[in-house]
Structure 1
Amino acid sequence: MPLRHTNDTYISNHIFMEREHNYKLSLKWNGNTGNGTSDYRAYERAYSIHITNKPDLDGSSDPTFRGDKTKHNPEDMLIAALSSCHMLSYLHVCATGGVIVVDYSDHATGLMVTTSDGAGHFTEVVLNPIVIVADASMIEKANEYHKKASELCFIANSVNFPVKHNPVTLPPPSSAG
């Protein structure tokens, strides 16, 4: 397929080369209420994540594990990473494949189980993207591109549980009225 944009030249020449991409952050526990971890109930699960040139992110554990329900928890962020990575991969596949996406939203869910030894793991994440394309003739191709996006998604390729997709693709709203 011919390249459609100048930026595609960069992507097509570089995306399949094996390269390392390094990421770093600083995490600071903010939950010492004076007695450290002297008891399971003696400390808060609050923390801050700092990444250079980005807003700090305050987090906590899930409320089930004595966390603050008003803060993001690692489980939320894992689902968010999978959902956003899939979206970005999908938009790339559509842009290079001739499908014009005009709107995209997702309502993702994840299922985590805890085990008798106190550990736990995700058993699945389900992405439920709602995509609006510029023309109804693009719907079939748009639906097919979710599979390719899943194959390209860095985060989905890094987890050991299934990431399922239930896409809904719609034409643009009718302007007749």
Structure 2
Amino acid sequence: MGFKHVFKAKLDWFFSKNEAAKYTKSHTITIDGKSVLNVSAAKAFKGDPALHNPEDLLLSSVVSCHMMSYLYLCKQNDIEVVSYTDEAEATLEVSADGSGRFIAITLNPKVRITNKEKIVEALSLHKKANQLCFIANSCNFPILHCPTCEIEALD
């Protein structure tokens, strides 16, 4: 039997008298015990380009969750990971009526491990990590993986 966790976030937005001609899309999100997130719409949707936007945060959630699932699997399979980087991309499709949705995310994880005999296994674990990832399991679009794996000897 599984279990449930509840996550909470508080959003605050206030009309700015200095922005009387338009509504600003900037707002804050507060999660107890954590630093405040300053958020806006994406620049393409007339938001503040200096702030994170929901699209950034969704992509960041997928990338982060995949990495944590992957590192968990590497630990379970005795694969020593030295570094993990990813330059991920998300594709958002906007319809003529203004609605939109993500149609795909592509992860490009570059992993460095210590044992060259484990490269094939290390690459294969990305598929299983996707199956374990809470965020990926919540998405209704494909999450593609283009992983690479290299060897780095520890001193």
Q: TM range, normalised to the smaller chain?
A: over 0.9
Residues 20-35 of structure 1 aligned to structure 2 (within 5 Å): 20-30=4-14, 32-34=15-17
Residues 33-48 of structure 1 aligned to structure 2 (within 5 Å): 33-34=16-17, 42-48=22-28
Q: 2:110 aligns with which of 130, 138, 145?
A: 130
Shift of 1:173: 5.6
Q: Quick one: distance in 1 between partners of 2:11 and 2:140? A: 25
- Note the residue ranges of structure 2 that are not aligned, 5 or more in a row: none
Q: How many residues align?
A: 155
Which residue of the partner structure matches residue 151 of structure 2? Answer: 171
Look up the SS of the partner of 2:3 in the other structure: coil
The farther-off stretch of 164-173 and 140-149 is 164-173
Identity %: 39
Q: Quick one: distance in 2 between partners of 1:75 and 1:46? A: 14
Equivalent pair of 1:90/1:145 in contact (CA under 8 Å): yes
Shift of 1:43: 1.4
Shift of 1:135: 1.5
The farther-off stretch of 154-163 and 97-106 is 97-106
Aligned-pair Cα RMSD in Å: 1.7
Q: Quick one: distance in 2 between partners of 1:155 and 1:29? A: 26
Residues 104-119 of structure 1 aligned to structure 2 (within 5 Å): 104-119=84-99
Q: Quick one: distance in 1 between partners of 2:147 and 2:60? A: 17
Q: Quick one: distance in 2 between partners of 1:134 and 1:48? A: 42
Letter in 2 for 1:63: K
Look up the SS of the partner of 1:48 in the other structure: strand
Shift of 1:33: 2.2
Look up the SS of the partner of 1:110 in the other structure: strand
Equivalent pair of 1:90/1:149 in contact (CA under 8 Å): yes
Shift of 1:99: 1.0
Which residue of the partner structure matches residue 101 of structure 2? Answer: 121
Which residue of the partner structure matches residue 161 of structure 1? Answer: 141
Of the two structures, which has the highest relative contact order with CA contacts closer than 8 Å and spacing of 6 or more? Answer: 2
Look up the SS of the partner of 1:169 in the other structure: strand
Find the structure with the greater CA-based Rg: 1
Shift of 1:116: 1.3
Shift of 1:107: 0.5
Q: Quick one: distance in 2 between partners of 1:66 and 1:170? A: 41
Deviations 1:21-70 (A, max 9, x none): 1100101114x22288x8xx611110111001111110100011110111
